[in-house]
Chains A and B, each alone.
Chain A
Amino acid sequence: MQSRIKAFPWQELLLPLAAVVLALLIGSVLILYVGENPLTAYGILFRESLGSVRNIATTLQRATPLMFTGLAVAFAFRAGLFNIGAEGQLYLGAFAAVWVGISFNLPRIIHLPLAIIASMVGGALWASIAGFLKAKLGVHEVINTIMLNFIALFLTDWLVTGPFHGGSWVPETVRISPTAALSRIYPPTRLTTAVYLALVAALVVYIILWKTKRGYELRAVGLNPSAAEYGGINVPRNTIIAMAISGALAGLAGAEQILGLNNRFIVRFSSDLGFMGIAVGLLGKNHPAGVILAAVLFGALQTGSAAMDRLTAVPRELITVIQGLIIFFVAAEFLIRRILRLKEEA
């Protein structure tokens, strides 16, 4: 019973919430500066992102890839790994998905799951390289995932403009077979069943981390690798596994983009979804439920910002500023905590 209560740290919700409120407050100063009423601007932002079923659907569509990349970052973080490489893993996952999507002729019931699994395998393999380098050679994962991002980017650039080029003047592949495409839930919005997949992924992440032996080991490695080793836990092996699972989650974000949104691989399609995942993981406290909420928040901000830009003098870039401020305050909270903890120990 106790374990169920502590599973989601509700009191920890307070601090991210405070970060969001503070960021919106500072944002309102900027809105005043451009001569608008913050209440009006935020009113539009809210209405256009969450004010109707259709707007909510759009928000969720924007949130879905962030749920995956947020989960990817959070999962690795729980095992003590800072996965900056979700972006690259997403591209590799996306490419694997598009490859399955265009190369095979299969019934939908096989084709779609196969494409989804391919995206996970693609992401997982790419991330495993980083995990292997960290576990066996001690190359810090921050460095090697950043490097692998570039490699992934240029590798897919080449694949899509070269061997897999669709033939048009645009740097993109041909469209995937409809049997590999995710179905839309609420047309005309582009929200697809990928959102269900994201929720399932969050649940699976939760179960792995807190309900399995593997999760116990992964978190132990994240919290205290020395003690984990002492407890008979194979640290290098768990490092590779953590990166692989993280990469698989990032790969799913690629699947959502390919099989749901674009139905083809357009060169450099990701608008920093992998990097946004770091922010989402941070804001969501690296807890699957928190990640889902944070992703929805970011999705809503992005969805509402277009209308705000259109209907007021507030430029949509304000939303980027607000997102930055949210992260700033969440990060500052870590800083404040650390200072407090040091004091206690002194």
Chain B
Amino acid sequence: MAKVLEMRAITKQFPRVLANDKVDFDLEQGEIHALVGENGSGKSTLMSILYGLYQKDGGEIIVRGQPVEITEPRQAIDLKIGMVFQHFMLIEPLTVAENIVLGSEIRKGPFLNHKKMVAEVERLSQEYGLQIDPEARIADLSVGLQQRVEILKALYRGAEILVLDEPTAVLTPQEVEDLFQVLRTLKSKGTSIIFITHKIKEVLAVSDRVSVLRRGKKVGTKLTKDTNEQELAEMMVGRVVLLRVEKGPANPGPEVLRLDGVTVKDQFGQVKVNNVSLSVRRGEVLGIAGVEGNGQSELVEAIAGLRKVAGGRIYLGDQDITGWSPLRIRKAGFGFVPEDRHRRGLILDYSVADNLILGIHGSRPFAGTAGIRNQGKIMEHAEELIEKYDVRPPVAAQAVRNLSGGNQQKVVVAREFAQNPDLLICSQPTRGVDVGAIEFIHQQVIAQRDQGAAVLLVSAELDEVLSLSDRVAVMYNGEIVSVMPIEEATEHKLGFLMLGGHPEEYGAGEVSGNAEQN
């Protein structure tokens, strides 16, 4: 096979970090080459250099045998390189066809030639087997289909080398499977694909070769068939990693959290959580699986007192906490790792020490008489948690903004877990967190469970739900559609239910597992 792309000794220096250190990378005609590494390992930087978003400080890029300089995306596009970003760059009110041709619109005189645009997009989607309605509005499409539009956009511009930056991060398991199918089709048509991810399972499922980056350096390139999960994880992290959290059987005690027909509406009066009843007991982890946006966030925020409850009651222990203030609920023994640490969980410009007291900042010993802060105790508390939860760098006075995603999350986890709450809600606890930190956070969740906390876990990662939970609930369209013991939960079954499949239909008609999505 011919090499369509070679990147040699690519070096990129950022003000504080060497993002790429003499990285070699190559891509063969018609292969799927996975590029993996933890956050901050330099994968996205490398691809941004290829796409002309960053300028390299050293090394060379050879496309189809020709050395090239790519200083802006336009040049990359001219070289038939296409990129699909994690955050889509689509204009929501416009149609699929309008988005795809954007920038190279087909005109008739001064007007757009709508018919021809639609025909052109239809031809393209036929050719690559990417089914889509050219006249649908982007805003009406599911995330998976929006991604498909992004891919078509790149193909429309003639891309023969396609770079996908963490494409699965936003997809449901079924959508991931669809995407892989699309990638295989593209490959069979001769497109060469670079697939950026930090999920090892996906690498094994779809790629031909895999290159691993760690701290800006390339650790190695392997044929996918010659490697395995454990080896890749160790290459990524640089040490032996426990991929599955080790946990003993649950030992559930009395009920800690009980939801009784809870209904929550959003600010427009739309019902987001519909008549949900659940219970979580001491010493167990209840996982809620579900595609994001099915009411999990609203449910959890209602429990935390951050959202109004429109109906039903919430009990913590034997207290009815419905309508309590967030502070009062916290004080009743509640810990909460929110899904979005930047928006909710942290004050980025505050120091690590100040973030570690958020929520308990008003209590002794952190605030004394007349509300004067006890700086000594605050620092002491910080030093202790930084050590216990291995926050790096271990500097209490450092602004949290300067920490990596994984270490930011450790700050949130440390703060919430250190209170040893009776009820602990972890919402997407490892989102955007490195393999090494995931392992650590998972161990801490289980440790909390074993100390007798009732843990409610909300995660879009099925792996996470499956490996941590003792019971699994599936949420769809604001309702809990099923609750099952972990022994009965499989990835396939959860995926089926998450997309709105009826619990009683599962197993009956396997075909519906790939249900049409909108």
**Interface positions of A (Cβ within 8 A of B):** 2-3, 6, 211-217, 219-220, 223-224, 226-234, 346
Contact = CB atoms under 8 A, between A and B. Distances in A.
Interface in B328-345: 328, 330, 336, 338, 343-345
B106 interface: no
13 contacts: A3-B379, A211-B373, A213-B372, A214-B371, A220-B358, A223-B348, A224-B346, A224-B347, A227-B347, A229-B306, A229-B326, A230-B326, A346-B53
Contact of A231 (B328, B359, B367, B372): B359
Given A223-B348, A224-B343, A228-B347, 16 more contacts: A6-B397, A211-B375, A213-B361, A213-B371, A216-B354, A220-B350, A220-B358, A223-B349, A227-B346, A229-B306, A230-B344, A230-B358, A230-B359, A231-B359, A232-B325, A232-B359
B327 interface: yes
A231 B397 contact: no
Contacts of A226: 343-344
Nearest to B346: A227
Nearest to B378: A3
B71 to A, nearest CB: 16
Given A212-B373, A213-B361, A213-B367, A232 B327 contact: yes
Contacts of B361: 213, 216-217, 231
B437 interface: no
Interface of B: 53, 304, 306, 325-328, 330, 336, 338, 343-350, 354, 358-359, 361-362, 366-367, 370-373, 375, 379, 396-397
Given A230-B336, A231-B358, A232-B325, A212 B347 contact: no
A224 B348 CA distance: 8
A234 B325 contact: yes
Which of B306, B330, B354, B361 is the most central at the interface, judged by chain A CB atoms within 10 Å of its CB?
B361
Nearest to A4: B375
A299 B345 CA distance: 43
A227 B397 contact: no
Nearest to B415: A231
A230 B348 contact: no
A274 B231 CA distance: 66
A226 B304 CA distance: 13
Given A6-B397, A223-B350, A229-B326, A212 B371 contact: yes
A100 to B, nearest CB: 28
Contacts of B336: 230
Contacts of A234: 325, 327
A346 to B, nearest CB: 8
B228 to A, nearest CB: 36
B306 A230 contact: yes
Nearest to B397: A2
Contact of B344 (A223, A227, A233): A227
Contacts of A232: 325-328, 330, 359, 362
Nearest to A233: B327
Contacts of A214: 371
A224 B399 CA distance: 14
A212 B361 CA distance: 10
Contacts of B306: 229-230
Given A3-B397, A217-B361, A230-B306, A223 B325 contact: no
Nearest to B370: A212
B341 to A, nearest CB: 9
A217 B361 CA distance: 9
Nearest to A215: B373
A226 B345 CA distance: 8
A214 B362 CA distance: 9
